[in-house]
A and B are shown apart, each in its own frame.
Chain A
Amino acid sequence: MNCKQAREIMNLVFDGEMNPLEAGAREHCGACRECGQWMAGMERVTECVTSARKQLSQPDIATLVMSRLPARHPASVERRRVLISRRALSWMLMGWAAAFCIMVVLGAVAFKWLGTPIAGERVVQSYSVSRTIAQTTAAIVGAFKPLGAAVGSVAVGYRSDAVDLAIALVLLEIMILIMGCAVWRRHSKISGSMSVLV
């Protein structure tokens, strides 16, 4: 084994590798003056670095870092906001579905019992199509606002100008719906920012 080979093997040993030729390399370094000095120098490097590491005082990094962090991880805040939004949306959808079912039933009842001629006023045949449209519209609107639909259904049953009333109610309901969505979005944002503070 020559000097170059011995040093290469010893370098691998210093890297933490097991080497079957280590004994031979050590033997060479023991016999060769230059390689012996080289190895002593390498061992000194390891000892000095190890000694430097052991002398290090260990500051409490964790405590210092914790004071720089927000109360919650941003990802958890975002996830929470999404959860709140989803929950609110599901409740809203369930409410709409329930209101729709109820109003369809109420609409049918109104059509059956209140849509008949009252106090001598007869509903003409050509008008019944408009009335049906109005009632259907009222029932759909009812999915968004039960009270409006109830008013619409009852009105369609009693009055000949129920179509105008139903259209007016539709416009009103759309406005309420838009306002409701805006309020809901605002609420979701507030919930999200509130949870950052929690």
Chain B
Amino acid sequence: MEFSDAELIRQCLHGDNGAFDVLMRRYQRQVYNFCYGMLGNADDASDASQDAFVKSYYALDSFRQDAQFLTWMYRIASNVCIDLHRKRKRHQSASLDDEEQSFRELPSSDLTPDEMLQSCEGSRLVVDAVSRLSESHRAAVAMFYFGGLSIREIATATKRPEGTVKSDLHYAREMLRRKLEGVVVEV
């Protein structure tokens, strides 16, 4: 018998941690993928998704049942990833002034776009590029492509208008396309 998210949350709040385990197993793949999209690194993604689940566990009694658990989870994971990304950025010796600057400094590939597509290089390059987008653009791409959310769900999770989410996504997609085509973005 499969319990609903609300029922599992209720059971957890009554002391059954096994229910939270079930809940995590239900969404861990999406949350991890999203964190990977946000951070571009498997180790960081694992840490961030763990932290996000731990935070959600302690905040479970404040979760409103009228919202979707996954959407709520994405919001927490997004904040965790942004914090982790900032920390990591602070520790980097080279400072990157803005998004475009960071795109210029991406490691360039010698492969043509077609060859990149054939290999894992294209994927690696696009993940690197995503991790260098601004927070809002990165969140939009990570939720849409890695987390599998719709525009409406992203708008709910990020508490932003759908139009803004679309605009972020279009901009980010354009940046990624240019990167893959080897075009350096000129401001």
Binding site for B on A (CB under 8 A): 11-12, 14-17, 38, 41-42, 44-53, 55-62, 64-66, 68-69, 71-77, 79-80
Contact = CB atoms under 8 A, between A and B. Distances in A.
Contacts, number: 130
A76 B57 CA distance: 12
Given A45-B126, A74-B58, A69 B20 contact: yes
Nearest to B175: A45
Interface string B18-54: 0011001100110111001100001000100110011
Contact of B150 (A12, A16, A61, A73): A16
Contacts of B49: 61
24 contacts: A11-B166, A41-B177, A41-B180, A44-B177, A48-B123, A49-B145, A51-B122, A52-B123, A52-B126, A53-B37, A53-B145, A53-B146, A59-B32, A61-B32, A61-B50, A61-B53, A65-B57, A66-B20, A73-B13, A74-B58, A75-B61, A76-B13, A76-B15, A80-B15
A74 B177 CA distance: 47
Name the residue in A16, A47, A49, A79 with the highest tally of chain B Cβ atoms < 10 Å from its Cβ: A49
Contacts of B144: 15
The 7 closest A-B pairs by CB, nearest first: A76-B15, A52-B123, A62-B24, A41-B177, A48-B126, A75-B61, A49-B145
A72 B50 contact: no
Interface in B133-187: 141, 144-146, 150-151, 166, 169-170, 173, 176-178, 180-181
Residue of A14, A44, A68 contacting most chain B CB atoms (<10 Å): A44
